[in-house]
Amino acid sequence: MANTLFRFPNPVDEISARLVAGGVVLLCLATVVFDQPWMIAVIAYGFAARVLTGPTLSPLGLFVTRVVRPQLGIAPRPVPGPPKRFAQGLGLVFSIAAAILVFGLGVPAAAYAVLGLLAAAAALEAIFGLCLGCRIFAALMRVGIIPQTACEACNNL
């Protein structure tokens, strides 16, 4: 069971990834606009769940893949999974940084600024299909920090 639970899908449906990114934008905006710092923990959990299991343990991921996506009637657009997982990892780092800023250091304005950056990156993915984490992943592969074997399908990124 652990082998199937803790795996990230490869390939990933680009449409689902963009819908999840849209959900992240909405969560970040709601957190800041309604001044609800506790929601940072929800955002961080979502990223942790998606890094570890893809949509399997992520409420947002499950909602998108099981409820929203099937209703669209658009053919799947498979893209390599490793860069998307890397991007989710970057989202996790940003959301943990925001949590530390608000809960550990007591500076909600700084935490909300970090969430603003996270929302901006997620908006680029959701609206334009521009995954900044994927671009960083590709650059790290080109310079040899991430080995080519990490994602053979990514060699054309």
Residue-wise pLDDT tens digits, 103-144: 999 999 999 999 999 999 999 999 999 999 999 999 999 999
Query: CA angle, 78 as apex, 83 and 19 as ends, to 5°?
Result: 75
Within 13 A of 143's CA, how many CA atoms are on the CB side? Answer: 6
pLDDT higher than 60, residue 2:
no
Query: Amino acid letter at 3?
Result: N
What is the pTM (predicted TM-score) of this model?
A: 0.93
Sorting pLDDT into bands at 50, 70 and 90, what band is 155? low
pLDDT at residue 157 in the model:
47
The domain segmentation of the chain, as residue ranges, is 2-156
- The label of the residue with tokens 């490793």 reads 82
pLDDT higher than 50, residue 65:
yes
pLDDT higher than 80, residue 85:
yes
Measure the CA–CA gap between 79 and 136, rounded to whole angstroms.
Answer: 16
Query: Amino acid letter at 140?
Result: L
